Chains A and B, each alone.
Chain A
Amino acid sequence: MSKAVATQPLQTGKPRSVSRLWWRKLRELPLVSIIILLIVLVIPALLAEVIAPHNPFEGSLGKRLQAPAFFGGPSEHLLGTDHQGRDILSRIIYGSRISIAVAAAGILIAGILGTLLGLMAGYFRGWIDALVMRLVDITLSIPAILVALVVAAAIGARFSSVVFIIALVLWAVYARQIRGETLKWSQSDFVARARVAGASHFRILTRHILPNVTNTLIVLATLQVGFVIVFEASLSFLGVGIPRPNPAWGLMIADGRKYVMSAWWISFFPGLAIMLTVLSLNMLGDWLRDRLDPKLRQV
């Protein structure tokens, strides 16, 4: 018996077909998260005009507070209508654009600023390092929502102020992480050799250190998208984020608060959209972190 097994040809290193290999790779992806994200966030944002059944801004008061179609309401409005007769599904679909835009803009600005300062702090050390790290500590010890309330009270709520606040709060997270990485890589052999070869500081930072911290950046950014979406929703809910009548998810929840006794669907569905989005983003972020940057697991 054992002889027979031993003489069988080994099937190693030779994939049966290319499509099978792709299938294997595909199965390793966190598919549930990706599919939910596509359905709730990405496709609605890209194709809002095509798939939204109604205008998100216009409703008729005659059709206000209609129940969802599966809950005894008319089939015209799948998820029901709000207190102004606007279609909730359409508003959720258009709202995904706001969530994506705020998250992308805020994280991009924070990421660039934080990476720049983190690289300089970790590479040059000295007073730059001391200054940047002190600023990081201060930023991290002040709750973001307080800054948001003060800004809203001073200049009012608008899209740009929300992005400004997010960038103001998040840059510190990047700066701290990138500084630590930079510190480590600046002491590595390849940086020493680049220096001996006469490379400028700029070249060392952009060609030798930056590529090594890219994975950390990607993981951090992914893990933060969920936080930013909840944060923006909280601000909008409190009336210090995206202004009305925009279909921001947080605003929709706030609109429904007064009608919790009679029309639960106004608040419920936008919240469900937030939950599904953020849950999937967090799972995707965890998966990416394990893949790209296991060091971050403690963060």
Chain B
Amino acid sequence: MQRFIIRRLLQTLVTLLAVSIIVFALARLSGDPRDALMPMEASRADRERILVHWGLDQPVHMQYLVFIGNALRGDFGESLQWPGRKALDLVLDRLGNTMELAAVALVFAIALAVPIGVLSAVHKDSRTDFLGKLIALLGQSLPHFWIGIVFIWIFSVHLRWLPTSGRGTFQHMIMPAIVIGWFQVAALMRLIRSSMLESLDSEYVKLARIKGVSERMIIWKHAFRNAAITPLTYFGVMMSYLVVGSITTETVFSWPGVGYLVVQAVTARDFQVVQTVAIVFATVIILMNLAVDILYAYIDPRIRYD
């Protein structure tokens, strides 16, 4: 177990390093990174200051070391759009809002995917199964942002049930959370269905049937508990989709999270904020994957020896 954790930690470190190299390289795609880092009307003095801050007068490998050094100290530069504010502070201020939305979306996805997945496995090839497949197919084919706009049109403009945008009450959260969560319902449901089918076909379920255990107990206690382990591995991937899905969804609903912030920053060409968001999001996702892997290895010892 210890060796497994150490190996996974090292892999995580390499991935984080790769992320920093990618962001570092992309900032230099345009030639002079100051074109990306600064507005066009920046003064000479400002350009000089940035030159020194990012070590741009030095060779590339030194520039990278300066970049990493600054990043490790939490210094990603200052925002252009909101002068005087540190890019990292801006991002961290909003991270809570994004996580709040992701959590609600996650709860929604699980609450919908578990019953549908289990039911479509139990009643395989029935109408329920078909309906489940349809929901899954729709969820994976519809673009987030479009569902968001259609929802606003139906529930806010026509029915006047829910507020169109912003954050405040629980009502503000309903539409964005459903929009982000729906895509996950599809994937999670498929996983639960296939692992349920497998465990319903197993020896222990047959034995339970022979013993005369009630069908309800068989489904939820014997079959589902074992089937629930497989979808667990998917949670890392799922969290990353939830975070990423927040970028388009927050924009549609003007939800004051990191996703909305980064889109505003791109529009304003506020590169310092964009690169900070990229690194913070990537770090959050990579760490979550690490946590899930370790948790999974803890639950299912076979994984450790892969």
Contact = CB atoms under 8 A, between A and B. Distances in A.
B140 A282 contact: yes
B138 A279 contact: yes
A153 B150 contact: no
Nearest to B286: A141
B274 A260 contact: no
Interface stretch (A183-191, A209-217, A230-238): A230-238
A192 interface: no
Contact of B145 (A253, A261, A275): A253
Nearest to B281: A146
Given A230-B143, A253-B145, A271-B149, A153 B138 contact: no
Given A146-B278, A238-B248, A153 B146 contact: no
Interface in A238-261: 238-240, 250, 253-254, 256-257, 260-261
A290 to B, nearest CB: 14
A234 B143 contact: yes
A256 B157 CA distance: 14
A280 to B, nearest CB: 9
A268 B158 CA distance: 15
Overall SS of chain B's interface: helix
B23 A143 contact: no
A271 B153 contact: no
Given A143-B282, A264-B153, A155 B143 contact: no
A151 interface: yes
A234 B248 contact: yes
Overall SS of chain A's interface: helix
B15 A138 contact: yes
B157 A274 contact: no
Interface string B140-183: 11111110011011000100000010000000000000000000
Contacts of B140: 282
Contact of B274 (A153, A230, A267, A298): A153
B224 to A, nearest CB: 20
Interface residues on B, range: 35 or more
Given A147-B22, A149-B277, A154 B289 contact: no
A282 B141 contact: yes
Contacts of A18: none
Contacts, number: 137
A240 B262 CA distance: 11
Contacts of A150: 22-23, 26-27, 274-275, 278
A278 interface: yes
Contact of B14 (A134, A257, A264): A134
B177 to A, nearest CB: 18
Interface stretch (B49-57, B59-67, B265-273): B265-273
A33 B240 CA distance: 31
B244 interface: yes
Contacts of B143: 230, 233-234, 237, 250, 253, 271, 274-275
Contact of A240 (B266, B277, B278, B289): B266
B149 A226 contact: no
A145 B247 contact: yes
Interface string B249-269: 001100000000011011101
Interface in B15-43: 15, 18-19, 22-23, 26-27, 29-30, 36
B109 interface: no
Contacts of B30: 154-155
Interface residues of A, number: 42
A256 B252 CA distance: 11
B137 interface: yes
Contact of B18 (A138, A240, A254, A274): A138
Contacts of B141: 226, 230, 275, 278-279, 282
Given A142-B22, A226-B141, A267-B149, A149 B15 contact: no
A282 B19 CA distance: 31
A60 B194 CA distance: 54
B110 to A, nearest CB: 21
B15 A260 contact: no
Nearest to B37: A154
Contacts of B70: none
Given A138-B14, A141-B289, A155-B29, A260 B152 contact: yes
Nearest to A237: B145
A149 B149 contact: no
Interface centre among B149, B243, B286, B289 (most CB of A within 10 A): B149
Contacts of A257: 149, 252
Given A154-B29, A268-B150, 12 more contacts: A142-B282, A143-B243, A143-B285, A146-B244, A149-B278, A153-B265, A230-B143, A234-B143, A237-B251, A238-B251, A238-B263, A282-B141
30 contacts: A137-B11, A141-B15, A145-B244, A147-B26, A149-B266, A150-B275, A153-B266, A153-B271, A154-B26, A155-B30, A155-B36, A230-B141, A233-B143, A233-B146, A234-B145, A234-B248, A237-B145, A237-B251, A239-B263, A239-B267, A257-B252, A261-B157, A264-B153, A267-B150, A271-B143, A271-B150, A275-B141, A279-B137, A279-B141, A283-B137
Interface of B: 11, 14-15, 18-19, 22-23, 26-27, 29-30, 36, 137-138, 140-146, 149-150, 152-153, 157, 164, 194, 240, 243-244, 247-248, 251-252, 262-263, 265-267, 269-271, 274-275, 277-278, 281-282, 285-286, 289
